[in-house]
Amino acid sequence: MKIINFGSINIDIFFAVDHIVRPGETISARSIEKRAGGKGLNQSIALAKNSDSVYHVGNIGIDGKFLAEYLENEKINTEFVRESKSLTGNALIQVDDKGENSIVLYKGANFGNDKDFVDRVFGHFNKNDILVLQNEINMMDYIIDKAYEKGLKIVLNPSPITEEVKKFDYDKIDMVVLNEHEAKAISGREGIDDNIRYFKETYPKLKLVITLGKEGSIYISEEETIRQKAKKVKAVDSTGAGDTFTGYFVANFYQGKKVKDCLELATSASALSVTKKGASVSIPSLSEVEEFMKESL
Ligand code: RIB
């Protein structure tokens, strides 16, 4: 089983600030750091901490070679990472004293997908494989259609939310991993119970994993509903915590681990990631996560 993550690759520029800048205000940052990021890249790193057959598919610009090398150093296959003449995607990230963030995205090369490329990619994979998607690239509908035609199982993390996300064909998707705000945006319903009801009634076969912040997370399928408590840690930077959760959960779930164990691993990994600065660089190894789980028993 191969895990193909067709997703964004960004240069993250982190500004450490006292508070997130308000309209009309100018503030100074305490530090500025440039790191590898993008929801796609971050999730590939988290997947690769748990699997040795992760393929990242995506686009970098003329300034992004170091990002492909970064993926390769994490033992991720980059055969389908293309270099284009545009600039690499960028994220301008403010992180405040409480570890909360605010992000401005420049899509850049991430929107360089075309039909020929998508067709070429799916010529190499088959129904034993898993496709992981976020919402920071173009041609999402076409990618979903092609992967479905080939029989791949599709996992979607519909982040960041856009109008297009609401129109995807969820009947073609096996699992959605999302937070409560994203669930509300897709369903148009208020309250977590109403949201769950919406997804169950509209897409009965869809597996759902909803993260609920301090309330933990919940997995819902036709067969079972399993809840997981959150882990308490001192937050330094929450950037990439959702990506860490998704990568850990998905890699372990499709390798056949019990849902309860996958939730516990994903929750612990994302809790650990918020204790460190940065997105991809804050994703812990599996042994760090297992150690943390023993300590937090
Ligand atoms: O989820 C965190 C990511 O969102 C950052 O790495 C940034 O690139 C944005 O895409």
Measure 21 CA to ligand 1 centroid, in angstroms.
18
Task: List, in order, residues 6 or more apart from 45 with CB less than 8 Å away.
Answer: 71, 74, 76, 247, 280, 283
Closest ligand 1 atom to residue 38 Cα is 8
Q: Are 110 and 139 in contact (CB under 8 A)?
A: no
Select which of 171, 194, 243, 261 is catalytic.
243
Instruction: Please list the helix, strand and coil fractions of the chain in percent, rounded to the nearest 5, in that order.
Output: 40, 25, 40
Q: CA 139: distance to chain centroid?
A: 17
> What values do phi and psi take at 146, rounded to 5?
-65, -45
Task: List, in order, residues 6 or more apart from 255 with CB less than 8 Å away.
Answer: 1, 50, 51
Q: Are 253 and 259 in contact (CB under 8 A)?
A: yes
Answer yes or no: is 99 within a domain.
Answer: no
Radius of gyration, alpha carbons of the chain: 18
Measure 104 CA to ligand 1 centroid, in angstroms.
9
Domain, as residue range, for 244: 3-8+38-87+109-296
CA angle 5, 6, 9 (to 5 degrees): 95
Helices 259-273 and 241-254: crossing angle, nearest 10°?
Answer: 150
Answer yes or no: is 18 within a domain.
Answer: no
* Number of domains within the chain: 1
Per the annotation, binding residues are 10-12, 38-42, 136, 179, 211-216, 237, 239, 242-243, 273, 276, 278, 282
Taking the C-alpha atoms of residue 293 and residue 297, their distance in angstroms, rounded to an integer, is 6
Answer yes or no: is 130 within a domain.
Answer: yes
Q: For the chain, report the end-to-end CA distance as a whole number of angstroms.
A: 32
**Looking only at Cα atoms, what is the longest distance across the chain?**
52
Which residues on adjacent β-strands are paired with residue 11? Answer: 36, 90
Active site residue 243: yes
Cβ–Cβ contacts within 10 Å for residue 102, how many? Answer: 15
Closest ligand 1 atom to residue 10 Cα is 8
pLDDT along the chain (297 residues), means of 10: 98 98 97 97 98 98 97 98 96 95 97 98 97 98 98 98 95 98 96 95 97 96 97 94 98 98 98 96 98 89
Q: Are 156 and 133 in contact (CB under 8 A)?
A: yes
Residues 171, 44, 101, 99, CA torsion sign: positive
Closest CA to 89 of 120, 72, 113: 113
Closest ligand 1 atom to residue 239 Cα is 2
Measure 11 CA to ligand 1 centroid, in angstroms.
9
Q: What is the pLDDT of residue 23?
A: 96
Decide whether any atom of ligand 1 lies within 6 Å of the 38 Cβ.
yes
Closest CA to 159 of 177, 147, 146, 184: 177
